[in-house]
Structure 1
Amino acid sequence: MSPRTVVLLGSTGSIGTQAVDVITRHPDRFRVTGISAGGADPVALARQAVALGVQTVAVADPDAAGTVFAEVVRASAEAGLNQVGVEVLTGPDAASQLAARGADVVLNGITGSVGLGPTLAALGAGSVLALANKESLVAGGPLVRAAVQRPGQVVPVDSEHSAIAQCLRGGRRSEVRRLVLTASGGPFRGRTRAELADVTAEQALAHPTWSMGPVVTVNSATMVNKGLELIEAHLLFDVPVADISVVVHPQSVVHSMVEFADGSTIAQASPPDMRLPIALGLSWPDRLPEAAAPVDWTRAGRWDFEPLDEDVFGAVALARAAVAASATHPAVYNAANEEAVAAFLAGRIGFLDVVATVEEVLREHDGGPVRDVADVHAAEDWARARARERVAAAG
């Protein structure tokens, strides 16, 4: 069996670097043909390109292209390679160009709704989309669903949605009663709103379980990430948001569950390690041997489950309301949050102001259909501008 060709989008980020680890441990299964990144770390990108032997590197920042190529030359020389045969694509559409080249699998590990273009490009090219970029599905849900050409073309990489996909193998779709998303609770589980008023960015970035990028980590602390995941689950599995529950599970061993009509619940359990859902995304429907360590059943342990305190963490309820309001409200939810998180990390607003900003912007949005990417961008641009105005007013 010939190896699957793979394109890694966001290769220098958390998902991308772990995907590289999975791939390099299974060289007979995968061949990476292209990688992409924003361009903030050209040295890491160049070293990945040479180590993986890729044909194409895509860089979003056109000013970083020359540095990336120079670093590829340097890394090639250090590796004893006499010839540099790497093509460098540059600009905001570079990742989309790379995703459209028809690799067997495109893993979209880009952070933010800028991943929508590459998501649509990969689907349009007929590639399997291993989707870690939940924001592209949230923002452009109708477009993404319309672009899917066949069942199984989108394979979720988020640990929760990968878990649900695995659990759904245990029954027919008509037998599903509800989906149960688990949440770690983040660093502020059990706190009151008053106790959250003065938390710092440093505290919000200290996630107790997962190692993620700053935006996703803050989203986990505010529970916006769980709101995004609820919308993603609704779109991926065609389940009404009313039939998707969120439960807090601080150990992060049970990654999500499916409850069936007969009263049985199937759960997927493994120690918190993103290499497992990444490996499944790359190899689906097959499982790679020893992708991650299993649960050690010889050691005593406990799994706790508790309801989400939606009076303190209102982001999930806002996500449900966004789905019900209009096709563009989820894009507004995500875009307003991205602006608010940036402001929080920069010290311009407080922690509680993040979700409050999202709520205010959602309340003001008139809503509308999503007929094309322009509709998504228009909703996002409006939301970002309105969020920035709210942040400025708060300052």
Structure 2
Amino acid sequence: MKKISILGSTGSIGTQTLSVVRQHKDLFKVEAIAANNNDELLEKQINEFQPKLAVLYNKDAADRLQTRYTGKTKILSQDAGLIAAAVFDDVDTVVTSLMGFAGLRPTMAAIKAGKNIALANKETLVVAGELIMAMAKENKVSILPVDSEHCAIFQCLQGNDKNRVNKLLLTASGGPFRGKKEIDLENVQVNQCLAHPTWSMGKKITIDSASLVNKGLEIIEAHWLYDMPYDKIQVVVHPQSIVHSMVEYIDGTVMAQLGSTDMRLPIQYALTYPHRMESAAKRLDFWNMVQLTFERPDTQTFKGIDLAYEAGRIGGTMPCAMNAANEVAVEAFLHNRIKFLDIYSIIEKTMQAHKVIKDMVPEVFFSVDASARNFACKIINSI
């Protein structure tokens, strides 16, 4: 039985991970769960899965839970709680699905503690990919991708020599504004951005998908996961979201992974690899599948992809600055403080002002993240 810890258990990936566990109770035991501030849902998860440790990062939420909970699960809070869940003794695999930069510190702690990582927090590799991959190698732990695109690439690489890869093809739905131009996006509202055509996700990643910044972050993630140069990573818009990604080999063969738009599939594969198990996910019906289409992304309107290529190629702490600016900008947009297209200018201006540091030590990333956030906030306040 695999013993797991889930960081971000009340979010979209966390709840779907628990759905996988629920289906395969004989394979998994949840030993620790952690969330931000949803004490009511976390309490339900505690009662169902009986973990030994539960964490609410928000201390007020943890205190609320403590006042009414009488069971055996230990309740912790704040950074110390997250780290405790990441390094919990009985755990062999940590599902890292915390949102954004917040996932970096507990992921590093889990790796240092020798835990295998089921990675749903792409920002960890975007921000500190070189450091994280070196730490994983040093501590002899595996990092298995939970993102549908990177799980697809991982599967397409099985049984093949990575040196024979010509190109990684990351697919993108194109989001709710595919085909729109800048003039069409000047006054789009939050609810329009959250209406993703094919996937059901959390608010932040859904906004990132609308701007295609999410696909940009996935480019950087793929670079580190598969040690692939940026000129061998290409984005292809595929509106149906059936082909989750592809790998082109030097002989012209293209391997593709297809499946329904159900995150339980990549989550389960990351947890059961190298084995495949039964899944509750809907099966594809090829007799009734009308079409699969592919097109070039519009990078002039949706600048997130090119901004990520630029940040990745510059390297050092530039992706960290880019990610920080994006997180601040998306939060501001969700609270109606800026317009949708302002997200790009905030990222661009922050990157232009950032002085790149090449020293790959943890303290640098936390410092750069803080300073980039502060700079992005000043831009927002001036809008």
The interval holding the TM-score normalised by the smaller chain is over 0.9
Q: Which of 51, 55, 58 is the aligned partner of 1:58?
A: 55
In structure 2, the partner of 1:12 is 10
- Bigger shift: 89-98 or 347-356? 89-98
What does residue 78 of structure 2 align with? 91
Question: CA offsets, 1:294-342, max 9 Å, x none?
Answer: 2112214211100001111111111111012231011111100011111
2:123 corresponding residue in structure 1: 135
8 Å contact from structure 1 (residues 43, 71) kept in 2: no
Equivalent pair of 1:49/1:72 in contact (CA under 8 Å): no
Which ranges in structure 1 are unaligned for 5 or more consecutive residues? 74-83
Q: 1:290 aligns with which of 279, 283, 289?
A: 279
Map of 2:113 onto structure 1 = 125
Which residue number in structure 1 is paired with residue 22 of structure 2?
A: 24
> What is the distance in 2 between the residues matched to 1:212 and 1:274?
9
Three-state SS of the structure 2 residue aligned to 1:331 is: helix
Residue identity opposite 1:50 in structure 2: N
Q: 1:151 to 1:374 in 2, by over 3 A?
A: closer
What is the rounded CA distance, in whole Å, between the counterparts of 2:234 and 2:78 in structure 1? Answer: 40
Cα drift, residue 140 of structure 1: 1.6
TM-score, structure 2 as length reference: 0.97
- Once residues 199 and 332 of structure 2 are traced to their aligned partners in structure 1, the CA distance between those partners, rounded to angstroms, is 23
Structure 1 outlier segments of 4+, above 6 Å: none
C-alpha distance in 2 between matches for 1:265 and 1:26: 33
The secondary structure found in structure 2 opposite 1:268 is: strand
Residues 47-83 of structure 1: per-residue CA shift (max 9 Å, x gap): 101100110001211222221234433xxxxxxxxxx
Match of 2:164 in 1: 175
Partner residue of 2:351?
362
1:170, 1:334 → 2: CA distance? Answer: 34
- Partner letter of residue 146 of structure 1? A
Which position in structure 1 is the counterpart of 2:266? Answer: 277
**Identity among equivalent pairs (%):** 41
Q: What is the CA RMSD across the aligned residues, in angstroms?
A: 1.3
Equivalent runs, 1:160-239 vs 2, <5 Å: 160-239=149-228
Q: Distance in 2 between matches of 1:293 and 1:370?
A: 46
Is the 2:117–2:141 Cα contact (8 Å) retained in structure 1?
no
**In structure 2, what is the equivalent of residue 101 of structure 1?**
88
Does residue 148 of structure 1 match 2:136? yes
Three-state SS of the structure 1 residue aligned to 2:176 is helix
Cα distance per residue 1:191-240 (max 9 Å; x no partner): 01111111111111111111111110000000000010000000100001
- Say how many residue pairs are matched: 381
Correspondent of 1:328 among 292, 296, 317: 317
Deviation at 1:187, TM superposition (A): 0.3
Question: Distance between the aligned counterparts of 1:295 and 1:362, measured in 2?
Answer: 42
SS of 2:288's equivalent in the other structure is: coil
**CA distance in structure 2 between the partners assigned to 1:21 and 1:223 by the alignment:** 28
Which residue does the alignment assign to 1:386?
Answer: 375
SS at match of 2:197: coil
Superposed displacement of residue 177, structure 1 = 0.6
Residue number in structure 2 paired with 1:255:
244
- Distance in 2 (CA, whole Å) between partners of 1:164 and 1:210 is 19
| One-letter identity of the residue aligned with 2:220 | I
Contact 2:174–2:238 (CA<8 Å) still a contact in 1? yes
Query: How many angstroms does 1:26 deviate by?
Result: 0.4
Q: Distance in 2 between matches of 1:93 and 1:182?
A: 38
Cα drift, residue 360 of structure 1: 1.1
> 2:115·2:141 contact (CA, 8 Å) conserved in 1?
no
Question: Which deviates more from structure 2 when the two are superposed, residues 155-164 or residues 123-132?
Answer: 123-132
Question: 1:186 is paired with a residue of what secondary structure?
Answer: coil
Distance 1:220 1:148 in 2: 28
